[in-house]
């Protein structure tokens, strides 16, 4: 019995490296599967939709593509038919009066319903953010606050030293809704930059380069 036990122990010891190697391989495979599933989950929550139009207008207006993806993700979840309770329309949820103002600057004429067109909504959303980023020294947080609450409200916040040290960008956003919105934009932007670093690139600064 002792001899058989010794043989069994020797056999087990001999096979130990093989068992360890197989275990490590299994762990690596499971890890790879976990990473893949995790990435797919992230991609489904932060999708790359309307990529052609987004690339076109972020390049035209010198914006980071991740910013416009973040705006559409936050504003409408990529639903081109989206409407808000206050009347904002389309992918980038632009108000009709803002749309009219932007059209005058671009010397274009469209009916309000044109905002349901993804191409139009993306173009004007990008153009609006370009204006805001130029106005606020390329600061995405301040631009997002203005996109949400209006430039008039942001001007009041900028004039208050407890919210802005330099009077040009916001150190703190006092409005709860505006602060929550800006935080969502920054979080989504970071997610797009991380998940799609190779796919969407990093061109565009959001700053005036004229």
Instruction: Please check whether residue 178 is in contact with residue 145, taking contact to mean a CB–CB distance below 8 angstroms.
Output: yes
Q: Which of 59, 60, 75, 97 is catalytic?
A: 75
Is there a catalytic annotation at residue 75? yes
Task: To the nearest 10°, report the CA torsion of 136, 139, 145, 151.
Answer: 10
Instruction: Please check whether residue 114 is in contact with residue 90, taking contact to mean a CB–CB distance below 8 angstroms.
Output: no
- Apex 193 CA angle, 118 and 122, nearest 5: 15
Q: Return d(Cα 153, Cα 175) in angstroms, integer.
A: 10
- Apex 105 CA angle, 101 and 110, nearest 5: 60
Instruction: Please check whether residue 205 is in contact with residue 138, taking contact to mean a CB–CB distance below 8 angstroms.
Output: yes
Instruction: Please check whether residue 193 is in contact with residue 184, taking contact to mean a CB–CB distance below 8 angstroms.
Output: no
Distances 118 to 47, 92, 143, 156, 210 between C-alpha atoms, Å: 15, 9, 22, 33, 28
Which residues are tagged catalytic? Answer: 75
């Amino acid at each position: 019995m002792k001899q058989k036990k010794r043989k069994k122990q020797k056999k087990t010891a001999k096979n130990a490296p093989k068992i360890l190697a197989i275990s490590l391989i299994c762990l690596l495979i499971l890890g790879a599967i976990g990473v893949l599933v995790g990435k797919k989950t992230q991609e489904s929550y932060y999708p790359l939709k309307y990529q052609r139009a987004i690339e076109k207008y972020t390049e035209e207006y010198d914006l980071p593509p991740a910013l416009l993806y973040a705006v559409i993700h936050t504003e409408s979840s990529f639903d081109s038919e989206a409407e808000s309770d206050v009347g904002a329309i389309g992918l980038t949820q632009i108000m009709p009066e803002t749309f009219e103002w932007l059209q005058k600057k671009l010397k274009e004429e469209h009916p309000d319903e044109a905002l349901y067109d993804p191409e139009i909504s993306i173009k004007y959303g990008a153009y609006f953010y370009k204006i805001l980023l130029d106005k606020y020294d390329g600061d995405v947080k301040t631009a997002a606050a203005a996109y949400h609450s209006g430039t008039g409200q942001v001007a009041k916040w900028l004039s208050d030293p407890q919210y802005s040290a330099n009077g040009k960008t916001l150190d703190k956003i006092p409005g709860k809704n505006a602060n929550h919105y800006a935080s969502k934009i920054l979080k989504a932007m970071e997610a797009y930059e991380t998940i799609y670093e190779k796919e969407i690139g990093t061109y565009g600064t959001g700053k005036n380069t004229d």
